[in-house]
Amino acid sequence: MQQLTQKLKNGAMNVIEVTLPMVQAGRVLVRNHYSLVSAGTEGSTVKTARKGFIGKARERPQQVRQVVETLKNQGPVQTYRAVMKKLEAHSPLGYSCVGEVIGLGQDVTEFKLGDTVACGGLTASHAEVVSVPVNLCVKLKPETDLKQAAYNSLGAIALQGVRQADLRLGETCAVIGLGLLGQLTCLLLRAAGVRTVGVDIDAAMVATAAEHCADLALCRDQGGLEAQIEAFTSGLGCDAVIITAAGNSLDPINFAGAIARKCGTVVVLGAVPTGFDREPHFYKKELQVKMSCSYGPGRYDPCYEDKGCDYPAAYVRWTEKRNMQAFQALIADGKIDVAYLTTHTLKLADAPAAYDMMMQRQEPFIGILIAYDTQKPLTAGRVVRLHQTRPAQADRLGIAFVGAGSYAQSHLLPNIPKAADIALKGVLTTSGTSARSVADRFGFEFCASDEADLLTDAAVNTLFVASRHDSHAEWVCKGMQHGKHVFVEKPLCLTATELDEVEAVMQNRPERAPILMVGYNRRFAPLTRALKDAMGHGVPLAMLYRVNAGAIAAGSWIQDPATGGGRIVGEVCHFVDFLTYLCGATPVGVHAVALPDPHHLKDTLNISLTFANGSIGTISYLANGSKALAKERVEVHGGGLSAVLDDFRKLTLFKGGARQEKKLLTQDKGQKNMVRDFIGAARNGGMPPIALQDILNTSLVTLRIIESIRTGRCLPLEGRSPEEQPTSHAAR
């Protein structure tokens, strides 16, 4: 199928072929009839993309600070990779569309195939087919004009602004900014019986508002504006002012204060600065200033938007979905008519010209619709082939990626050797756009949207799984059952049940079994290996690992037990594996205590581990520390030797009165060595770089940590061999 995208690197816009979206739980697959181009939001995005690097930096200072921080911590190579990943990615445009349901997630009961629906949010993009969460999709009445219904997202945004103004029948509201959002706001106000004043700097927009949606429409630069509004309101002033303008000027907010009545309300809907003059208006009039958040309650809440958890209407009357439904009902019932807003309708292939027109102001425009050929066969289905397919060969490593986000693009893909006997075959992600971006950047032969296209392809014998955590165990099992080597990013699994399933699959492998590897990269770091060599073998060690992890918001998918597993399962596993590798023995006992926190995240904790060879380890995982402190520090003591590893940059060894230091120019956490060793083992049929027992035990330990925090007890690793289990590296 086709989708409109742009690249941040140069602002270039293209209609590209991508795979059909996957039919996922809680989502609706929609074939678009129309989508709306938002001149404000999308125009701003395109304008920034077309600026040079300096211009982009000025527009996005926070991202510049992130780049500087990455440069400081990870060096120039990783910084370059992170920046280019962002700049070279195909970025979809659009967030409001209307079309026909052609696919449903297995748990979706609200819709049926063939329904016409209006959609909102970033997944409602300019594409022939989109996959939209159920709470961002509303069913339409049969008589609905689909061109008008395509204004769904902006209509809901405008409606939320009107709700924030909390107006009554017969009251007066001024709307500052008469672009697309302002016109919609005026239409909604008039439909609610509110007397409406429209103000803009553009005379053409003022004239349009006067004809269609405003009782009084005024140019901002004409004289006596305040007096005219005062007369219109019989000397009272406006009960509310809604700012739908965008820009860097303080004039909209200060003018709103000037025309609002005493104890009135100012609603900020557009992107304007809010550093208003306290006097003479805001203070003396006791004005109330409100921010309006996009479509309404539920916006930016992953539980609502991604998981489909609705808010009870008795307590949250107007969610973002119910705002969309109310807007569509007004259109279907003829209470508002937005048809006049559509000044241009273009085919998808011609859509890039719409953005040129917006940027260059070549001709007047308000609403721009993209129309889709719904009779055209969807030629690109599950697979989009980009390069000539190389025939399968028994001695060739055919690699496919499942998920290819930031970590995969920065640390896995760049470290795969470029060799004649290694082929990057396919990439599958939840988004066809991201799969195409990765395929183009790294030279994959095809993009896929169905797991069967990877699992049943004889030319694919090696899977890299870098998807979200909740899919890891399933992909490991499927990959192994199809005879593929599997590298899976941590964690291996999220639950004890999944761990049992993985172990059962591994025990039932054929004699010439494929290799399983988990991305515990720290054991492969150069300074880690130097540390292990220095400490020797067979000596019990006392180990302390301090991790200044920093806070992650409670709403993040990483903190979600069902999706990310939480930080203990999702990240502490790294440090358990590290200590296991360092002492060369199996963990046999665990005790953990967590610092209480209001969200019960348990991500500031101390963990005590005991090992079969008498070694002991302490992991202090801290989410409450200062960012100024380096992230990781390891201390190891044993056999009269002490060592300190600082953030994988410096290793200091202490023996007797002597001190020895090893320093690296940049941080190296072992990703390059890790990928190289896995590829080497898969190529040559060698031993797995990490012993299977270590992999299974590490996941078991993280689950025991959670149980130890809950019970307050020291727990054994039940069901695992207590004997020492040296790793393959320990034997080197």
Helix (H, G, I), strand (E, B) or coil at 471: helix
Same domain, 416 and 500: yes
The DSSP line for 4-46 is EEEETTT--EEEEE-PPPP--TTEEEEEEEEEEE-TTHHHHHH
Percent of the chain residues past pLDDT 70, beyond the cut: 90
- Residues shown for the chain: 732
Residue 241: C-alpha distances to residues 2, 134, 195, 575 (Å) = 41, 33, 12, 55
- pLDDT tens per residue, range 15-41: 999 998 888 899 999 999 999 998 777
Answer yes or no: are the C-beta atoms of 380 and 386 closer than 8 Å: no
Q: Is the dihedral of CA 128, 132, 135, 136 positive or negative?
A: negative
Residue 707 lies in a domain: yes
Contacts of residue 713, defined as CB under 8 A and 6 or more positions apart, other chains included, come to 591
- Residues of the domain holding 699: 522-731
- pLDDT tens per residue, range 169-214: 999 999 999 999 999 999 999 999 999 999 999 999 999 999 999 9
Decide the pairing of beta strands 27-37 and 367-371: antiparallel
Answer yes or no: are the C-beta atoms of 247 and 272 closer than 8 Å: yes
Regions of the chain where pLDDT drops below 50: 720-732
Instruction: Outline where DSSP puts E strands in 201-297.
Output: 216-219, 238-243, 260-268, 288-291
Residue 381 lies in a domain: no
pLDDT score at 391: 64
Residue 377 lies in a domain: no
Same domain, 560 and 419: no
Same domain, 543 and 503: no
Choose the final residue of a domain: 291, 309, 338: 291
Contacts of residue 235, defined as CB under 8 A and 6 or more positions apart, other chains included, come to none
pLDDT score at 509: 75
How far apart are the C-alpha atoms of 250 and 258, rounded to whole Å? 13
Q: Which DSSP letter does residue 525 get?
A: S
Residue 376 lies in a domain: no
Residue 255 lies in a domain: yes
pLDDT score at 13: 80
Choose the final residue of a domain: 478, 493, 518: 518
Residue 11 lies in a domain: yes
Helix (H, G, I), strand (E, B) or coil at 715: strand
Same domain, 505 and 531: no
Same domain, 568 and 501: no
How far apart are the C-alpha atoms of 658 and 640, rounded to whole Å? 12
> Which structure tokens are listed for 493?
């699994």
Same domain, 530 and 631: yes
Q: Which DSSP letter does residue 412 get?
A: I
Same domain, 54 and 181: no
Same domain, 668 and 543: yes
The total domain count for the chain is: 4
CATH number at residue 258: 3.40.50.720
Same domain, 673 and 535: yes
Residue 156 lies in a domain: no
DSSP bridge pairs for 383: 448
**Peptide bond just before 491 cis, omega within 30 deg:** yes
Residue 201: C-alpha distances to residues 173, 194, 221, 430, 541 (Å) = 18, 23, 7, 43, 73
CATH number at residue 531: 3.30.360.10
Backbone angles phi, psi at 621, to 5 degrees: -105, 120
Answer yes or no: are the C-beta atoms of 15 and 348 closer than 8 Å: yes
Same domain, 673 and 579: yes
CATH number at residue 118: 3.90.180.10
pLDDT score at 14: 86
Residue 384 lies in a domain: no
Same domain, 275 and 311: no
Same domain, 135 and 71: yes
Choose the final residue of a domain: 291, 326, 343: 291
CB environment 250-272: b (16+ within 10 A), e (fewer): eebbebbbbbbbeebbbbbbbeb
Decide the pairing of beta strands 96-104 and 27-37: antiparallel
